[in-house]
Amino acid sequence: MTPEELRDKQAEELERQQALSKRIMCCTAAGCLSCGAAAIRQSLDAEVAARDLGDKVEICGTGCMGLCSQGPLVLNAAEPRLYGNVTAADAGAILAGEDTSSHGAIDLQSPFFMRQQKIVLANSGRVDPEKLADYIAVGGYQSLAKALESMTPREVVEEVRKSGLRGRGGAGYPTGLKWELVAKQAAQTKYVVCNADEGDPGAFMDRSVLEGDPHRVLEGMAIAGYAVGAQQGFIYVRGEYGLAIQRLQSAIRQAEREHLLGSRILDQGFQFRIDLRIGAGAFVCGEETALIASIEGKRGQPRQRPPYPPASGLWEAPTLINNVETFANIAPIVEKGGDWFAGIGTASSKGTKVFALAGKSANTGLIEVPMGTTLREILFDIGGGIPERSFKAAQTGGPSGGCIPQQFLDTPVDYESLARIDSIMGSGGLIVMDDTSCMVDVARFFMEFCMDESCGKCIPCRAGTVQMHDILQRITTGEASPADLEMLQSLAALLRETSLCGLGQTAPNPVVSTLKYFPEEYEAHIRDHHCPSGHCHFTSAQQEVPA
Amino acid sequence: MTATPAGTAQVTGVRDNREKLLERAMSRHQYSGAALIEVLHTAQELFGSLPSPLLKTIARKLKLPPSRVLGVATFYHFFSLKPKGEHTFVVCTGTACYVAGAFSLVEKLERRCAKAGHTTEDGKVSVETARCIGSCGLAPAVIHDGSVLARVTVAGLDVELDKIGVP
């Protein structure tokens, strides 16, 4: 396909879509699928056939529409009208444009939708991830065409640098700088790797992007390949994400067939292949050097840095590793320019951030907000607050993050502000906890996670996580003494300073943040053998004789 | 040693076919050691688990030390050296599911079936936990024989167990 053919194809597909009287989008992301979306789609298809509307109405499966707690979701795109909690019996009413018997339409003017700004998720829920034509219709692969036709690799890197985009995997390293480091290397062979090993418990952003808009990620990787001088890309995706794997495989095949990937891309003499590597369930493989070891077919154990992957990565070649969400931002940046992107967000954190909102929030699902939005806006306007109970903490950054208490709800969400209150941006898991959650047990839960997931290579992490978990376990069962708290703190400092990789270095974070902001809960467990949230159970003998 | 993984197939025809499929997967990767994880994925998909004779065969074909193959197979949670039960329950223990009470589901399964990570003695049910399956909007979630059950309650789990005849 040449760039002209790509533009013709877009016009042709748009014309076809406009000729239809209705396009009904049926959310077929993992969440909605597991509450019956497949049956709904079938019954919509059957209804269209029964009414002989085949040439006027199209039923599409799409990626995540965001409001997972009201799934399965169906969108009548033209009006637009969004239906929640749909059942197969609602097909007739949806086609007729009426309210469904069980539930009315969801208010698209509500804060959940109005307070969001979508760049990464712009196509999610709007295009069929299994149809390349759908992606082309919304301007897909035009950024790649623009880069190949009218920009030098240097100019692409410069545009990304200007955008101020920072790594969305959690650490926030400036993406443009990383690209520049790889582009500068003289090596013949270089690699581009997409880190889709989304391991933080409570995070499903990358999964939703891959399931809902796989071509966007492929396009971003191809642009990166052109910019840094690589001809081979790998996507390292979690083995648990079956649907994402399947959709990526089919997207790669479709793109290769049309010469949007592979050889002679867009007839511009650029070649770039993308292969999938399926993870096998090891959290540590999210760490870049462990991920590289895993792609090479070894145990996913990290190694000492430097050298960093831009200098020596996969098979010792210069390697660019970015997260899924980072790559998903590339096509819009190339299309609209780095300055446009830099106009969104705060002084040091540009653009938007996708969060997976879960836990005790009224609305749960996938959201995208400009950097700098406050936690209060996210949790109470978009999330709709906490039904019946009261807010206790918001957990960000998974096992490497912290628990943010009530007094910091007005903190703007950006890399630096979250670090100042002892948490991290992380990859985007945002879990709301109410007064039934015990902060000591939350710390124990994350420490257990790190203990299980420690790769065992360095002693501080391998032994330290076990010791810290042991102490936390004793606190939650009423067997700890005040001296244990001191030990816990000194172990936390030790792990932070001496562990080999990020897993061990950040493992103490949930403990440190809960100790700092909820010290009274630790004291109540240790001194009074009492759990303020009623989560932990003690024997009655312990409660009668306080230590 | 022979290339036949012990005790994983009843029908000879089926077994032959599976070996051929595994061979094809290895040849697709030019018997490269770098493809070990892909090959183990295929092997587990075909045979259900990775018993020791199967690992030795793979080591020989990919020209890797058996210790390296065993090391990789035991490092990753996804690979299982023991056969799975007829039915599996995987309880998601990600943060959202934890907040929503996933551990009471694990307790229930452990009481009625087997400890997490194990299979009942009659080979009927395997109980497992997962590190966040990314369905946090549906917490707590359980994967029962490959399909996701959303917002599972202890009572709902009892119903599922009754359905497959767990005493």
pLDDT tens-digit map of A259-298: 999 999 999 999 999 999 999 989 999 999 999 999 999 9
- Confidence class of residue A257 from pLDDT cuts 50, 70 and 90? very high
SS3 A451: helix
B17: Cβ–Cβ under 8 A, 6 or more apart, which residues? none
Contacts of B49 in chain A (CB under 8 A): none
SS3 B117: coil
Residue A205 has pLDDT above 60, yes or no: yes
Contacts of B150 in chain A (CB under 8 A): 31, 34-35
Write the CATH number of the domain with boundaries B12-75: 1.10.10
- Confidence class of residue A62 from pLDDT cuts 50, 70 and 90? very high
Q: Which of B64, B131, B144 has the most A C-beta neighbours within 10 Å, making it the best mutation to test the interface with A? A: B131
Are A401 and A395 contacting, i.e. CB atoms less than 8 angstroms apart? yes
Architecture in CATH for domain A439-544: Up-down Bundle (1.20)
Q: Which of B136, B138, B152 has the most A C-beta neighbours within 10 Å, making it the best mutation to test the interface with A? A: B136
- Whole-model pTM: value is 0.94
Confidence at residue B6, expressed as pLDDT on a 0 to 100 scale: 43
Chain-chain contact of A35 with B98 (C-beta, under 8 angstroms): no
Contacts of A198 in chain B (CB under 8 A): 134
Confidence at residue A103, expressed as pLDDT on a 0 to 100 scale: 67
Q: What is the mean pLDDT of the segment spanning A525-545?
A: 84
Shortest distance between the Cα of B57 and any Cα of chain A, in A, equals 17
**Which two three-digit tokens encode residue A152?**
């030098």
Chain-chain contact of B137 with A298 (C-beta, under 8 angstroms): no
Strands of A319-323's sheet in order across: A262-265, A270-278, A232-237, A191-196, A319-323
Chain-chain contact of B99 with A437 (C-beta, under 8 angstroms): yes
Chain-chain contact of B76 with A453 (C-beta, under 8 angstroms): no
Name which of B79, B136, B148 is nearest A280 (Cβ-Cβ). B79
**A197/A324 Cα distance (integer angstroms):** 9
For residue range A392-422, what is the model confidence (pLDDT) as tens digits?
A: 999 999 999 999 999 999 999 999 999 999 9
Could you state, in order of their start, the residue ranges of all structural domains in chain A?
15-113, 139-340, 352-434, 439-544
Confidence at residue A110, expressed as pLDDT on a 0 to 100 scale: 94
Mean pLDDT of chain B: 88
SS3 B60: helix
User: What percent of chain A has a predicted confidence (pLDDT) above 70?
Assistant: 98
- Confidence class of residue A494 from pLDDT cuts 50, 70 and 90? very high
Q: Which residue of B lies nearest to A282 if distances are taken between CA atoms?
A: B76
Residue B5 has pLDDT above 60, yes or no: no
Give the bridge partners for A319, in sequence order: A191
For residue range A316-368, what is the model confidence (pLDDT) as tens digits?
A: 999 999 999 999 999 999 999 999 999 999 999 999 999 999 999 999 999 99
Name which of B34, B135, B141 is nearest A297 (Cβ-Cβ). B34
For residue range B11-56, what is the model confidence (pLDDT) as tens digits?
A: 445 556 999 999 999 999 999 999 999 999 999 999 999 999 999 9
C-alpha dist (Å) from residue B111 to A536, B115, B161 = 20, 8, 12
B31: Cβ–Cβ under 8 A, 6 or more apart, which residues? B61, B62, B63
- Confidence class of residue B147 from pLDDT cuts 50, 70 and 90? confident
The CATH H-level (homologous superfamily) assignment of domain A139-340 is NADH-ubiquinone oxidoreductase 51kDa subunit (3.40.50.11540)
Residue A485 has pLDDT above 60, yes or no: yes
Confidence at residue B146, expressed as pLDDT on a 0 to 100 scale: 83
Mean pLDDT of chain A: 94
Among A69-83, A230-244, A430-444, B151-165, the minimum mean pLDDT is found in A69-83
**Which two three-digit tokens encode residue B162?**
């009754």
Contacts of A281 in chain B (CB under 8 A): 76-78, 131
Name which of A69, A279, A433 is nearest B99 (Cβ-Cβ). A433
Q: If we measure between CA atoms, which residue out of A220, A193, A224 comes closest to residue A294?
A: A193
Chain-chain contact of B75 with A455 (C-beta, under 8 angstroms): yes
**A258/A222 Cα distance (integer angstroms):** 14
Q: Which residue of B lies nearest to A315 if distances are taken between CA atoms?
A: B34
Fold of B87-163: Glutaredoxin (3.40.30)
Chain-chain contact of A202 with B132 (C-beta, under 8 angstroms): yes
**Which two three-digit tokens encode residue A378?**
């996210």
**Which two three-digit tokens encode residue A366?**
């996938």
Contacts of B132 in chain A (CB under 8 A): 199-204
Shortest distance between the Cα of B46 and any Cα of chain A, in A, equals 16
Name which of A202, A278, A280 is nearest B95 (Cβ-Cβ). A202
SS3 A90: helix
For residue range A80-130, what is the model confidence (pLDDT) as tens digits?
A: 899 999 999 999 999 988 877 666 689 999 999 999 999 999 999 999 999
How many CA atoms lie within 13 Å of A346's alpha carbon, on the beta-carbon side?
15
A407: Cβ–Cβ under 8 A, 6 or more apart, which residues? none
Confidence at residue A379, expressed as pLDDT on a 0 to 100 scale: 97
Q: Does domain A352-434 have CATH number 3.90.1150.10?
A: no
Residues of B with CB under 8 A from a CB of A: 32-38, 40-41, 68, 71-72, 75-79, 93-96, 98-100, 130-139, 141, 147-150
C-alpha torsion angle, residues B23, B26, B31, B33 (rounded to 10): -130
Are A288 and A182 contacting, i.e. CB atoms less than 8 angstroms apart? no
SS3 A277: strand
Contacts of B33 in chain A (CB under 8 A): 297
**A280/A241 Cα distance (integer angstroms):** 11
Identify the DSSP state of A380. I
At A114, the amino acid letter reads M
**Which two three-digit tokens encode residue A354?**
């996708």
Confidence at residue A79, expressed as pLDDT on a 0 to 100 scale: 84
Q: What is the mean pLDDT of the segment spanning A145-172?
A: 96
DSSP alpha helix (H) spans, A83-204:
91-96, 111-114, 132-137, 142-150, 153-163, 175-184
A479 vs A78, which has greater pLDDT?
A479
Could you state, in order of their start, the residue ranges of all structural domains in chain B?
12-75, 87-163
Residue A543 has pLDDT above 70, yes or no: no
> How many Cβ contacts (< 8 angstroms) between chains A and B?
132
Q: If we measure between CA atoms, which residue out of A195, A138, A134, A142 comes closest to residue A170?
A: A195
Residue A208 has pLDDT above 60, yes or no: yes
Chain-chain contact of B148 with A281 (C-beta, under 8 angstroms): no
Contacts of A433 in chain B (CB under 8 A): 99
**A480/A274 Cα distance (integer angstroms):** 52
Chain-chain contact of A201 with B35 (C-beta, under 8 angstroms): no
Are A203 and A240 contacting, i.e. CB atoms less than 8 angstroms apart? no
Identify the DSSP state of A528. S
- Confidence class of residue A369 from pLDDT cuts 50, 70 and 90? very high
Residue B105 has pLDDT above 50, yes or no: yes
Residue A250 has pLDDT above 80, yes or no: yes
Q: Give A15-113's CATH code, choosing from 3.40.50.880, 3.40.30.10, 3.30.70.20, 3.90.1150.10.
A: 3.40.30.10
Confidence at residue B12, expressed as pLDDT on a 0 to 100 scale: 46
**B75/B95 Cα distance (integer angstroms):** 23
Identify the DSSP state of A346. -
Chain-chain contact of A282 with B77 (C-beta, under 8 angstroms): yes
Chain-chain contact of B99 with A360 (C-beta, under 8 angstroms): yes
Q: Which residue of A lies nearest to B147 if distances are taken between CA atoms?
A: A34
Shortest distance between the Cα of A302 and any Cα of chain B, in A, equals 13
ipTM for this model:
0.90
B158: Cβ–Cβ under 8 A, 6 or more apart, which residues? B108, B112
